[in-house]
């Protein structure tokens, strides 16, 4: 019987100490193989039907990870495109409540409208800041800059009490943090970070009634019968969230199908335990070295103030991390080990 460790070791053999999943996840070996196969199909002129089947397999896999019916999952290329659809659906003057310094792809579409009232408050005060005039609360489940995990249950409870909708960006959490997308109106995520896929694939879950969204980006793939919707206006939109799809980057979905299969084989709960154990080991080691990380309990992302300038030197030494606003950001995922943590701590102590 294969164990968590044996499954992971069969898929990953990084040449350096990679602690930067919050920027980009590593591709599993099976994903690289799937990408090669997809490219070969194009090069040899083979029928592309299997690549379109990959899109639907990925949609179903993400639905299982998000704990929602597959009919509620749309596929696209970026979180910002979904934010644009949600922003477009809001009435003039509507209030959108966000967390201070949240990721631009989440918040910027609401600012681009120009006629919405976008209000930012500290993440810890998000739930208590929802008020009767709030139409939408938009927040990342885990903050990109420092890994803080939002109290989504409290946010949802406050939103329901005031008649507001919720929009969650799960790009920095899905894959290591269990997700209940059904508790929110909209949840979007990219596939190239903790889901370990190639760039160019993203998801959005929408309510069964579509939450008032208009499929402004709809092309032929948004039709109930896509291959009969290639010319002229789409007569019948898909009856599911697929009406919000954009034409898929087939190579991306071919690879992501393999990546999501691995995530499901391992189980998000097991990945969660693994990742947090490493992050907590790093936090404890930092304290022993006299460094105080930014508070982010329960997160696989750890940021250390004042150490961002160490990033180039660490990179040169074979340790890949990020410099975010002067903070050194480490992110721990399934392919990392205790030895990776200890190597980083040794480097920081020198």
pLDDT tens digits, 112-121: 999 999 999 9
Do the Cβ atoms of 348 and 287 come closer than 8 Å?
no
DSSP secondary structure letters along 314-345: HHHTTEE-EEETTEEEEE--TT--HHHHHHHH
| Residues forming a β-bridge with 203 | 75, 189
The yes or no reply on domain 41-265 and CATH 3.40.640.10 is yes
Mean pLDDT of all residues in the chain? 97
Read off the pLDDT of each residue in 85-96 and give the average, rounded to a whole number: 98
Name the architecture of domain 4-27+267-349: Alpha-Beta Complex (3.90)
Q: Is residue 302 pLDDT above 90, yes or no?
A: yes
| Cα dihedral 236, 238, 239, 245 sign | negative
**CA angle (185, 186, 189) in 5-degree steps:** 155
pLDDT of residue 2: 84
Confidence band, pLDDT 50/70/90 cuts, at residue 93 = very high
Residue ranges per domain, the chain? 4-27+267-349, 41-265
Q: Is residue 1 pLDDT above 90, yes or no?
A: no
Read off the pLDDT of each residue in 234-253 and give the average, rounded to a whole number: 97
CA 111 to chain centre: 21
Which among 171, 192, 154, 173 is positioned nearest to 25, based on CA atoms? 192
Read off the pLDDT of each residue in 269-281 and give the average, rounded to a whole number: 98
Read off the pLDDT of each residue in 84-90 and give the average, rounded to a whole number: 98
**Edge-first strand listing for the sheet containing 322-324:** 301-304, 327-331, 322-324
Read off the pLDDT of each residue in 16-36 and give the average, rounded to a whole number: 98
Q: How does pLDDT run across 316-332, given as a tens digit for each residue?
A: 999 999 999 899 999 99
Question: What's the CA gap between 282 and 307, in Å, rounded?
Answer: 14
What phi, psi does 168 have (nearest 5°)?
A: -115, 130
Read off the pLDDT of each residue in 125-137 and give the average, rounded to a whole number: 98
Question: What's the CA gap between 322 and 19, in Å, rounded?
Answer: 8
Question: What's the CA gap between 195 and 110, in Å, rounded?
Answer: 26
pLDDT of residue 179: 97
List the structure tokens of 151: 């109290």
Q: Is residue 180 pLDDT above 80, yes or no?
A: yes
């Amino acid at each position: 019987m294969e164990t968590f460790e044996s499954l992971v070791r069969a898929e990953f053999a990084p040449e350096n100490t990679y602690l930067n999943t919050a920027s980009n996840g590593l591709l599993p070996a099976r994903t690289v193989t799937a990408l090669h196969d997809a490219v070969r199909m194009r090069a040899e002129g083979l029928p592309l039907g299997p690549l379109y089947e990959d899109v639907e397999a990925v949609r179903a896999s993400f639905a299982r990870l998000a704990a929602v019916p597959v009919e509620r999952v749309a596929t696209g290329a970026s979180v910002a495109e979904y934010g644009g659809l949600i922003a477009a659906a809001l009435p003039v003057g509507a209030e959108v409540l966000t967390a201070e310094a949240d990721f631009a792809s989440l918040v910027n579409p609401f600012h681009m409208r120009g006629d919405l009232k976008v209000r930012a408050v500290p993440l810890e005060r998000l739930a208590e800041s929802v008020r009767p005039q709030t139409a939408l609360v938009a927040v990342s489940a885990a903050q990109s800059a420092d890994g803080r995990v939002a109290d989504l249950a409290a946010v949802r409870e406050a939103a329901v009490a005031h008649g507001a909708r919720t929009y969650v960006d799960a790009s920095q959490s899905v894959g290591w943090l269990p997700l209940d997308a059904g508790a929110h109106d909209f949840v979007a995520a990219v596939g190239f970070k903790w889901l370990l896929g190639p760039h160019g694939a993203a998801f959005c879950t929408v309510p069964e009634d579509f939450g008032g969204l208009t499929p402004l980006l709809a092309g032929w793939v948004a039709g109930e019968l896509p291959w009969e919707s290639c010319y002229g206006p789409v007569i019948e939109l898909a009856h599911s969230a697929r009406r919000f799809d954009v034409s898929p980057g087939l190579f991306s979905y071919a690879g992501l199908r393999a990546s999501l299969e691995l995530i499901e084989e391992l189980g998000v709960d097991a990945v969660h335990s693994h990742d947090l154990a490493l992050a907590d080991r790093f936090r404890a080691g930092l304290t022993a070295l006299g460094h105080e990380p930014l508070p982010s309990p329960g997160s696989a992302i750890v940021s250390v103030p004042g150490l961002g300038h160490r990033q180039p030197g660490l990179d040169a030494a074979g340790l890949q991390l990020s410099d975010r606003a002067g903070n050194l950001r480490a992110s721990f995922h399934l392919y990392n080990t205790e030895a990776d943590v200890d190597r980083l701590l040794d480097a920081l102590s020198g």
